[in-house]
Amino acid sequence: MPDLRELYQEVILDHNRRPRNYHEIAGATRKSEGFNPLCGDRLTLYVALDGEVIREASFVGSGCAISKASASLLTEAVKGKTLAQAHEMLERFHHMVTLAPDKTEDFSDLGKLAVLAGVREFPVRVKCASLAWHTLKAALDVPGEAVTTE
Ligand code: ZN
């Protein structure tokens, strides 16, 4: 069995190379832009809502492997979720990446998103991993608002 870290690394590299849902959504219900000045990551997130349900989520942008992989994983994770579920996931993800490195907690409930747990050991990388989530929050809370993670 491969080392867990290697496996995580592999998932991140894969999503960076072949980002999922990497396109604009024509007629998106929500759209938000995010920028992480520390690293230069930029992305635009699109969400198509069907009532309270996220029917589609996608993104375009440029940035480091962590920011792209995180955005890619996010679009996969929130698809089909309700707004309440997406907010819950958002908070859980934030908790995961900001948990003190000396603490351990099981994040298997986050599924594939758990591959990003390792960023909490690198404070600068936390901004990269969180960018898509801050942008999602802005898209869901206030349509059309641009966010900067600081
Ligand atoms: Zn970055």
- Distance between Cα 66 and ligand 1 center (Å): 6
The pTM assigned to this predicted structure is 0.91
Q: What pLDDT does residue 146 have?
A: 55
Give me the helix-helix angle, 123-141 and 83-98, nearest 10°.
160
Residue 123's pLDDT band (boundaries 50, 70, 90)? confident
- Distance between Cα 74 and ligand 1 center (Å): 15
- Distance between Cα 130 and ligand 1 center (Å): 10
Query: Phi and psi of 63, rounded to 5°?
Result: 170, -170
How far CA 25 is from CA of 29, 47, 60, 69, 145, in Å, comes to: 9, 8, 10, 19, 17
- Distance between Cα 67 and ligand 1 center (Å): 5
Q: What pLDDT does residue 4 have?
A: 67
Instruction: Specify the DSSP class assigned to residue 27.
Output: T
Instruction: Dump pLDDT digits (tens) for 93-108.
Output: 999 999 998 898 999 9
Q: What is the 3-state secondary structure (H, E, C) of 111-142?
A: HHHHHHHHHHHCHHHHHHHHHHHHHHHHHHHC
- Distance between Cα 50 and ligand 1 center (Å): 31
Q: What pLDDT does residue 148 have?
A: 60
Topology of domain 4-141 in CATH is: Sufe protein. Chain: A (3.90.1010)
- Distance between Cα 147 and ligand 1 center (Å): 15
Q: What pLDDT does residue 85 have?
A: 97
Instruction: Dump pLDDT digits (tens) for 29-45.
Output: 999 999 999 999 999 99
Ion ligand 1 neighbours (CB, 5 A) are 39, 41, 64, 67, 128
- Distance between Cα 142 and ligand 1 center (Å): 24
For residue 48, the number of C-alpha atoms closer than 13 Å in the C-beta half-sphere is 12
Give residue limits of the domains in the chain: 4-141
pLDDT higher for 2 or 114?
114
